[in-house]
Amino acid sequence: MSAEIYEVIIIGGGPAGLTAGMYAARAGLNSVLIEKGIFGGQITYAEHVENFSGFPEGISGQELGEKMREQAMKHGLKIITGEVTGLEIQGMLKTVKTTEGDFTGKAVIMAGGASKAKTGSGRGNQIDRQRSFLLRSLRQRVLPRLESGSSGWRRYSHHRGPAPGQVRL
């Protein structure tokens, strides 16, 4: 078990997770990204990506994923290859349990993305069960705290229209 407390733990090494990790690391936050498979996510299956900014001639999905990983690491992101098996919330700290040990942090970004469709039983059903476990954990432990406005959690709400006393022009 890691005694280090991270400011940000990112679950998922696809484009969203790698980008979040790069920005967190660039901001000077002690961050770790956990990925169970290939860095770059589903984009790595594309032979040629022509619509990604910065690559006017296109790039292979696998090369793009690798470049994103390199850029995030260049800014100081710690990357772990392992599978997430659970999430525990104890006060302000969140512990992400993985096959490579436990990681504790102040914030968790879930950027698990999608996986290729599987049919029948086997690995596909196992992935669905794990995703279900993580989502159930969030619904049972995180969302009630946000909704109740319990201490230590900021409550965010989206306000439509002008605030009281404001006039819409």
Cα(47)–Cα(53) distance, integer angstroms: 17
Can you give the CATH number for the domain in which 52 is found?
3.50.50.60
Is the pTM of the predicted complex or chain greater than 0.85?
Answer: no
Q: Into how many domains does the chain fold?
A: 1
Report yes or no on 97 lying in a domain. yes
Q: Domain for residue 93, yes or no?
A: yes
Whether 141 maps to a domain, the answer reads: no
Question: Is residue 20 included in any domain, yes or no?
Answer: yes
> Residue 124: which pLDDT band, with cuts at 50, 70 and 90?
low
Average pLDDT, the chain: 78
In a domain, 149, yes or no: no
Residue range of the domain that includes 75: 5-117
Taking only the tens place, the pLDDT of each residue in 73-122 is 999 999 999 999 999 988 899 999 999 999 999 999 998 876 665 555 55
Question: For residue 136, what pLDDT band results from cuts at 50, 70 and 90?
Answer: low
Q: Is residue 144 part of a domain?
A: no
In a domain, 143, yes or no: no
pLDDT digits (tens, 9 = 90+) for 29-67: 999 999 998 888 888 888 999 988 888 999 999 999 999
